[in-house]
A and B are shown apart, each in its own frame.
Chain A
Amino acid sequence: MGQRVAIVGAGMTKFVRRAQETGKELAFHATRMALDSCEMNLDQIDAVCLGTAPDTFDGVHMKGEYLSDGAGAWGKPYMRCYVGGGTGVFSVIQGWYHIASGLCDTCLVVCEEKMSSYQPHAQAAFLTIFDHTTERPLKPNLLWIFAMEMNRYMTTYGLRKEDIVQVAVKNKRNALDHPCAQIAKAVTAEDILNSEVLAWPVQRLDVSPVSDGAVALVLASESIARKVTDKPVWIEGVGWSLDTAYWTNRDLCYPRYVEEAARMAYTMAGVTDPRHQIHIAEPYDPFDYKELHHMEGLMLCGKGEAPQMTVDGITQRDGELPVCPSGGLLGVGNPIAAAGLMKVAELFWQLRGEAGKRQVSRKVKRGVAQAWGDLMQVGTVVVVGI
């Protein structure tokens, strides 16, 4: 499909609760690092795609334009995408079609989020996503959706909370080896089960934190990629799909939209048996149960089977199918759009064997990254390989 597109460079700031840097400065650090990582300069970049979540977080209207200079967009074709939490992975898709179409040969993909600006808590920035006639008069809280989704998931398959929290134990431990991690910490299942209940069954340690941070990638066409690096990581497939815009109308138990996005990406990548042809996965994990939900949507296991796979250790770094070896959002942090792009960056480093202490034990040649968001119903999927 069109020109082949490779990832040739990546950069990432530390994820922190409150960065002294402005959003633009965060974007600059990540972008500069990505360019330096492949020894390219801004003159060699044809276009810039930027992903960032709600304007409300930074408190800046048209945040895309605000961040553009830090992302290296001066004098270039520039576009901001925003599909909520799905943004980080979607931004790669947008960068991909700039090059696959033949329009450009190189493209910077930059994602930034500065959630600490919003006072007193970023949670309230989500208020206006609820329907103004039927939901907002009830003073809804974003936690309602996650808690009822998790309850439905647990009830439908008869799952135990003790098994689900193993995801948070794994990811927070994995993040201990990530130099950019905000909240890497060795926690036990007991710690999580004893943490404050936010909205049952969701507890404090089931959830990723509020963060500031930025991540950037350099994408290139095959002819450029071959000149820049001897280890290009190819974007083999992309997919995205949207379920109903009303979260109350959706199947809370199974993310069909993730499956649809995955099918689109797998078809493009020639993946017919994801359980065996995908060697490493970075599904979106803002909550521990969401990693499981998304593994099922990505068809890496059957419905309701992901918790057992986790308990069996299959998804550990040294397991058969490492899942979130980065430490994920639960461990590294969750600056919304940047967190999604971090997942693609992790696959880039893992496939090149450059993940340092996080390097998975098995030889991995193909991986999948996925993010989720919008009004909790968008699935964005990228398959990469070497």
Chain B
Amino acid sequence: MSLRERVNQPKDTRPWYGELPVESLYTVGIAGEKFLRTLKEKGQFLGTKCDRCRQVYVPPKIYCERCLAKLDDWVKVGSCGTLESWTMVHVGLDGQKLKKPELVALVKLDGASTCIVHKLAGIPVEELHIGMRVCAVLKPKTKREGAITDILHFKPADR
């Protein structure tokens, strides 16, 4: 049985190439529309609040995932927050080494119960620590397009 043999390279067995071309056009949703429009026009972060479960969702949702209540209490949260975790990524999706390693952060904005993930810049790795204060750096208003990439990255609050 061929399972007894070791094949280390996928192409060492007779392959047949196939591709599944798929493209998608996603809607950002009811909550996403308001969140991204506010980010673009005012440079502010909005969340939705569930008083019963004491949760402020950022990015916002139109329902509470804990009690399934409809949420329409929109609150402004800070553009700075706490670094909850981080990593320095060295390999890409193809398994190959990245030309330049990238810093990724998990940030809980002030007033939010949940985190957002984004890039981190402006600090040497040695000085990073969980719990430190970080702030969002936005694109200039004229360049913003209503996407999560309107945030360029997060940077330490004190520099």
Contacts and interface: CB of A to CB of B under 8 A. Distances in A.
Contact of A196 (B86, B90, B115): B90
B93 A141 contact: yes
B104 A148 contact: yes
Interface in B101-117: 104, 106, 113-117
Contacts of B20: 59
Interface in A205-252: 244-246, 248-249, 252
A252 B118 CA distance: 16
Contacts of A245: 65
Interface in A93-142: 116, 119-121, 123-124, 127, 131-135, 137-141
Contact of B88 (A16, A127, A199): A199
Contacts of A196: 90-91
A155 B88 CA distance: 15
Q: Size class of B's contact patch?
A: 35 or more
Given A133-B59, A143-B89, A152-B85, A138 B118 contact: yes
A20 B2 contact: yes
Contacts of A252: 84-85, 106
A13 B1 CA distance: 10
Contact of B117 (A16, A19, A29, A140): A140
Contacts of B24: 132
A58 to B, nearest CB: 11
A256 interface: no
Interface stretch (B10-18, B72-80, B134-142): B10-18
A157 interface: no
18 contacts: A19-B2, A19-B3, A20-B3, A123-B94, A134-B117, A138-B148, A144-B87, A147-B87, A148-B106, A151-B85, A152-B84, A197-B88, A198-B91, A200-B125, A201-B87, A248-B117, A249-B114, A252-B85
Given A14-B3, A133-B36, A197-B88, 15 more contacts: A17-B10, A21-B2, A21-B3, A116-B10, A124-B93, A132-B26, A133-B26, A133-B59, A134-B117, A137-B149, A139-B93, A141-B91, A151-B130, A197-B90, A199-B88
Interface of A: 13-14, 16-21, 29, 59, 116, 119-121, 123-124, 127, 131-135, 137-141, 143-144, 147-149, 151-152, 155, 196-202, 244-246, 248-249, 252
